[in-house]
Amino acid sequence: MGQKYTELLSSVTGIGLPLHRTGYAENIYWVYGVVLDDERPFDAEEMMKRLADRKVGARPFFWPMHEQPVFVSMGLFKGERCPKAERIARRGLYLPSGLALTGPQIEQVVQNVKEVLA
């Protein structure tokens, strides 16, 4: 799934794709996350709404720990900022994934992503 998404999205400008491999790990693509470039005039929430209008489900990235409501209510991380985590949370989203996702379904998702980003 991940390699197919990467193959189809690699030429799309304005989004960051997950790395296949780092010096210490290989991506198993249990989810496929993309991050909108800062130049995009909308955030991940708007992107997910636009995809939903096209019947494509997408999910937000995990929210940073210092902004998790349970920790905020406990007074933890008070006054702390994590700009990189905050940016990724607001600009990142997960595309549909799963073992049952077919190649044609991935192609349809990618086509919709391209149209929303056009």
Report the mean per-residue pLDDT for the chain: 95
The beta-strand segments (E) located in 6-111 are 15-16, 32-36, 59-60, 92-95
- Overall average pLDDT of the 5-15 stretch: 96
Cα dist. 27→49, 59, 72, 110 in Å?
27, 19, 31, 20
Tokens, residue 67: 């902004």
Give the confidence band of 88 by pLDDT, cuts at 50, 70, 90.
very high
Interacting residues of 47 by C-beta distance below 8 A, sequence separation 6+: 36, 58, 93, 116
CA geometry: angle at 43 spanning 71 and 100, to 5°?
85
Residue 72, φ and ψ in degrees, nearest 5: -60, -45
Cα dist. 118→14, 95, 99, 111 in Å?
10, 17, 29, 11
Give the confidence band of 74 by pLDDT, cuts at 50, 70, 90.
very high
Which residues share a beta bridge with 16? 35
